Structure 1
Amino acid sequence: MADVFRGLNLLETLKESMESNKLADVKDAMEDLLISRINVAVVGDRGPEKSTFINSLRGLGPEDDGAAPRSPTTALEEVVAYPNPKHPDFRLWDVPSVPAARPFEPEGYMDRVRFLRYNAVFMTSTGEPHPNGVEVFLEARSLQLQTVYFILLASANDTEKSLEEKRKCGLEVLTCQGVAQPKVYLVRPSTLEKFDFPHLLEDMGRDLPEIRAHSLLLALPTLTSTLVSQKKEAFKALVWAAASLSGGVSAIPVPFVASMVDCSVAVRILTKAQLSLCLDDESVERLARQRGMDPAGLTCLRVCGLSAEVTKGEVKRRLAAAEKELATVSSRLVEMAMPRHARSAGRSFTAMLQALNGAIEEMATDADRILTVALGEAK
């Protein structure tokens, strides 16, 4: 499977930083991945399709606490922030639609809504794009902002045929206004796994800076088995960074420092993995409710103890078990993975790498099992 979010490139960048002894760069990258800092604007008229889309991106249903309302409750020209309840530094911004009046100056609208502060912008509609919106898109491209996307949101009465007709009309509008190689993504707001949303993620993965692409990936709900696999691969870079820092700390001659740092960082990473893979009780129960299932039918599918609860005791146990198994690990693994100057710290590196990667594999298997059953039941 292609690595959509380019985890291998990020991993190579981290290795180069270690080779150059830039531990601070590796630590900053790890913190960025753990925090998932990213801002995404959703531009368009407020209504049920847009609010459902915003909620689905946050893994919420219309009745959940903090969900975007189906009908506007704020002034139409106001920008409203919707943080992700599990990843508060992933913020979705409900941005008012581009005005339809002519003449129109895109720069004024963009300044008013602070368009350039967003990492990505979704230009949504339930019909064809408005010409003024296309002008905003072209202005953003002239300013080298590549992460602006036209999204056609399916309404309750739309069929696949009607959506394709709307897409065709939208592409004609974009072409007539000078958009080169135009794209319009069809999205069903309540079921993002359908239609073009996975393709949109692929394009965003290529367009966004790598850290931001990883941040988006880790903050999104687990919509498909492919997304679960991509999340698992993204965590490999995070685990490698943590293990590398562990190796660096273990070279410091201060008793117990390495083990304390290892456990603390490991708990943060595995807690992030639990939330990213939607394995916590609240996420599993919400998924069951959205799919019309008994929550017990999904919670019982969590085989790995860390899927249900990440505890310091369990993390310590896994790190200790990995230490004991090091005698069976080939020294070649350490030589290949660690920079030359840091191989003396290879024991701590290998234990951390082995323990965390093993745990994430188990958790991802649980997430895939839950998703498969939930989607199967829904069908």
Structure 2
Amino acid sequence: MDTPHDREMNEEIKEALQNNNQALAIEKIQERLDKENNTPLKIAITGESGSGKSTFVNAFRGIDNSAEGAAPTGATETTSVVTPYPHPKYPNVTLWDLPGVGTTKFPADQYLKHVGFEKFDFFIIISATRFTENDVKLAQEIQRMKKKFYFVRSKIDSDLYNERRSKREFSETRTKERIKDNCIQGLQEQGIQSPQVFLVSSFELRLHDFTLFTETLERELPEHKRNALLFAMPNISQEIINKKKKAFQANIKWHAIASAAAAGVPVPGLSVAVDAALLAGVVTKYAVGFGLDIPSLENLAVSTGVSLSDLTAVLTSPLAAIEITADLMLSVLSQCASTIFLLAAEEGSRFIPILGIPAAMILSFTTTYRMLNLILNKLADDAQRVFEKALDTTK
């Protein structure tokens, strides 16, 4: 749903087009798209020493603990100051690794002021065992300051492994239910009403409660922040891939309108050049968002143990696992018969008096709209194939 500011920008775009001010229309469309792409999301991660905060930060950002730019991990408290970790692909999304409240000299109320609580959208309080008195005091203070907070019980994979080894009759479902119930009961006994507790393994985000956790965040975030969270999420489920596809799809009309505006400039050949550059930029975002760029596929190969060649073998789109340029887009356009016809019709219509330019704009809109939908569908299908390939090997 559009905000009042979005609706105001929509009217400005409409007015610019009605006044044949194509340059202003393109500028306003880009401004609208940039606003959505650059919406800041600041997530605070805190918890006691050894709770797995830094590993969670790295997993959420889709990078290995040993990668350049990773939050340092270790058995002892490695976070002594408030440290920002921007997402490597979406720097507007930042996870802030905070020192554990029990490792500082500040009580909960002063701790929040010390770390600058007002800049965070929400807090994630992490524990590898039971949540402590310090965790509860911090949660109560966050609540008093009208911010959202969530409890994450980390290292659930280790608990399940130990339980499996120590018991003859083991049930993963019952074990997780018992751990969650114990956490909830402990928090309630310390004064937290209706605590939200999620069981997470930072080494296997697709398992346990991480999907439920992200769905809860998505539901409770302000609407204009939801896409920022969505695009920063690793592709741990088919549902997330589908949600990304839907979010990309919602903006196709704006890219098509920008293409139509460029077609309104009476210079032969200009529209095709603009379209190729526009498509290259948009499709690059699709590939990165779906994890189909080379760095993402390399990271996935390392984290899953599936070779890069095996992952790329399931790809069908010529725009996956490759650097996307305007020349490449022109090549792709030239291989589609219906697109060639529309482009030729667009260029030919320019020579028709009075009605030629409006016709060219309509044809340009149609070409861009169809191509982006076609490309998006193919890349989304490839993302599903890569996900399934990785899943088959990591079961």
- Single out whichever of 207-216 and 40-49 deviates more from structure 2: 40-49
Structure 1: how far apart are the matches of 2:113 and 2:175? 35
1:262 Cα deviation (Å)?
A: 3.3
Residue number among 345, 362, 377 corresponding to 1:346 in the alignment: 362
Correspondence for 1:316: 330
1:214 Cα deviation (Å)?
A: 0.7
Residues 52 and 126 in structure 2, CA contact (< 8 A), matched pair in contact too: no
> Per-residue displacement from partner, 1:91-147 (whole Å, max 9, x unpaired)?
2211112238999342x211211222123321111123333433433443444433x
How high is the TM-score relative to the length of structure 1? 0.81
Specify whether residues 155 and 182 from structure 1 end up closer, same or farther in structure 2 by C-alpha distance, changes over 3 A only.
Answer: closer
Segments of structure 1 that go 5 or more residues without pairing to the other structure are 1-8, 328-341
Residues 58 and 64 in structure 2, CA contact (< 8 A), matched pair in contact too: yes
Correspondence for 1:79: 82
How high is the TM-score relative to the length of structure 2? 0.78
Specify whether residues 290 and 105 from structure 1 end up closer, same or farther in structure 2 by C-alpha distance, changes over 3 A only.
Answer: closer
2:111 aligned with 1:109: yes
2:302 aligned with 1:283: no
Structure 2: how far apart are the matches of 1:129 and 1:186? 13
Specify whether residues 35 and 104 from structure 1 end up closer, same or farther in structure 2 by C-alpha distance, changes over 3 A only.
Answer: closer
Residues 276 and 329 in structure 2, CA contact (< 8 A), matched pair in contact too: yes
> Per-residue displacement from partner, 1:142-190 (whole Å, max 9, x unpaired)?
44433x2111112553024554333223212433455443210111111
Of structures 1 and 2, the one with the larger relative CO (CA 8 A, separation 6+) is 1
Correspondence for 1:154: 155
Residues 127 and 154 in structure 2, CA contact (< 8 A), matched pair in contact too: yes
Question: What is the 5 A alignment of 1:334-373?
Answer: 345-373=361-389
> Per-residue displacement from partner, 1:44-85 (whole Å, max 9, x unpaired)?
235373332222112122333322232179864311222222
Question: What is the 5 A alignment of 1:1-379?
Answer: 9=1, 18=10, 21=13, 26-35=29-38, 37-47=40-50, 49-71=52-74, 76-99=79-102, 104-106=107-109, 108-146=110-148, 148-155=149-156, 157-159=158-160, 160=172, 161-253=174-266, 258-309=271-322, 310-318=324-332, 321=336, 323-324=339-340, 326=342, 345-379=361-395
Specify whether residues 65 and 77 from structure 1 end up closer, same or farther in structure 2 by C-alpha distance, changes over 3 A only.
Answer: closer
Correspondence for 2:19: none
* DSSP-derived class of the 1:150 partner: strand
> Per-residue displacement from partner, 1:308-328 (whole Å, max 9, x unpaired)?
22121232344565644559x
* DSSP-derived class of the 1:305 partner: coil
Alignment coverage as a number of residue pairs: 355
- Single out whichever of 46-55 and 342-351 deviates more from structure 2: 342-351
* DSSP-derived class of the 1:279 partner: coil
Cα RMSD after superposing both structures? 3.3
Structure 2: how far apart are the matches of 1:343 and 1:126? 63
Structure 1: how far apart are the matches of 2:267 and 2:143? 53
Structure 2: how far apart are the matches of 1:256 and 1:115? 53
Query: What is the letter of the counterpart of residue 363 of structure 1?
Result: L
1:351 Cα deviation (Å)?
A: 1.8
Specify whether residues 298 and 114 from structure 1 end up closer, same or farther in structure 2 by C-alpha distance, changes over 3 A only.
Answer: same
1:280 Cα deviation (Å)?
A: 1.7
Residues 34 and 272 in structure 1, CA contact (< 8 A), matched pair in contact too: no
Structure 1: how far apart are the matches of 2:5 and 2:383? 29
Structure 2: how far apart are the matches of 1:168 and 1:74? 27
- Single out whichever of 9-18 and 45-54 deviates more from structure 2: 9-18
* DSSP-derived class of the 2:73 partner: coil
* DSSP-derived class of the 1:307 partner: coil
* DSSP-derived class of the 1:41 partner: strand
* DSSP-derived class of the 2:150 partner: strand
Residues 276 and 327 in structure 2, CA contact (< 8 A), matched pair in contact too: no
* DSSP-derived class of the 1:91 partner: strand
* DSSP-derived class of the 2:124 partner: strand
Specify whether residues 15 and 36 from structure 1 end up closer, same or farther in structure 2 by C-alpha distance, changes over 3 A only.
Answer: closer
Q: Max radius of gyration: which structure?
A: 2
